[in-house]
Structure 1
């Protein structure tokens, strides 16, 4: 069972991911709505996995991945992006993200990504 932090500036997207992940045996231990919050939450809660939106105010997902990875190499990050953000997804993977899922979320794909990086 992995401990997960969900990061997205849209409450609806956080709720959608929560609803999907509640069907698994993983535990959601926190939520953040921007990259700055995400960096603090990861330091505080030590999750196994973070789902990270790319486009957010204050600090975007790629900057947040770099900041998190510089302090915690172990945490696994899955990027969440809308269609057409391939260039940013590649940047995120280069920054240390392990996988990505496309919005709108496909329940099966989300669970597969979480299980793959979490195992």
Structure 2
């Protein structure tokens, strides 16, 4: 079972993502409301997957992606953000995110994004490429 950390400053979004994971082979091991907390929790729990908001207090999502990817190249990060401008999305991918969905999202969109993320993550583990 894959381990997931949810990073979003909105409690509503964190709960919504967590509820959407029920029935999938994903266990939520941590939730964080800002990037600073996310880096600390990442080091404690070492999740396989992360959902990452971009607009957060203390440390924003882009900086958080950079810090977490510096700690581990084999974590798979899905950006979940209302910032739908192409430049920010591309920057998140350059920093190491592996997917991007825009808020507001449907449960179907989220599950589809996670299914792809999980498949890619498992493929990377098998080939040993981060």
Aligned residues: 119
C-alpha distance in 1, partners of 2:115/2:3?
Answer: 12
For residues 67-106 of structure 1, what are the structure 2 equivalents within 5 Å?
A: 67-82=67-82, 84-106=84-106
Supply the distance in 2 between the matched residues of 1:66 and 1:84 (Cα, whole angstroms).
Answer: 19
TM-score after normalising by structure 2? 0.87
Q: How far 1:83 sits from its partner (Å)?
A: 5.1
Matches within 5 A, 1:22-61: 22-61=22-61
What is the SS of the residue equivalent to 1:24? coil
How far does residue 86 in structure 1 lie from its aligned partner after superposition?
A: 2.5
Structure 1 or 2, whichever has the larger Rg, is 2
Which residues of structure 1 form unaligned runs of 5+?
Answer: none
Give structure 1 regions of 4+ aligned residues with deviation exceeding 2 angstroms. Answer: 83-86
Native 8 Å contact 2:54 2:83 kept in 1: no
Which sits farther off after the overlay, 32-41 or 79-88?
A: 79-88
Name structure 2 gaps, 5 residues minimum. 120-130
SS in 1 for 2:94: helix
CA RMSD of aligned residues (A): 1.1
Distance 2:103 2:48 in 1: 22
The 5 A counterparts of 1:10-29 are 10-29=10-29
Aligned mates of 1:85, 1:28 — CA distance in 2: 28
TM-score (norm 1): 0.94
1:69-104 deviation digits (Å, cap 9, x = unpaired): 011111000001115333211110000000011111
Tell me the distance in 1 between the aligned counterparts of 2:84 and 2:92.
14
Out of 9-18 and 21-30, give the one that drifted further.
21-30
SS at 1:29 equivalent: strand
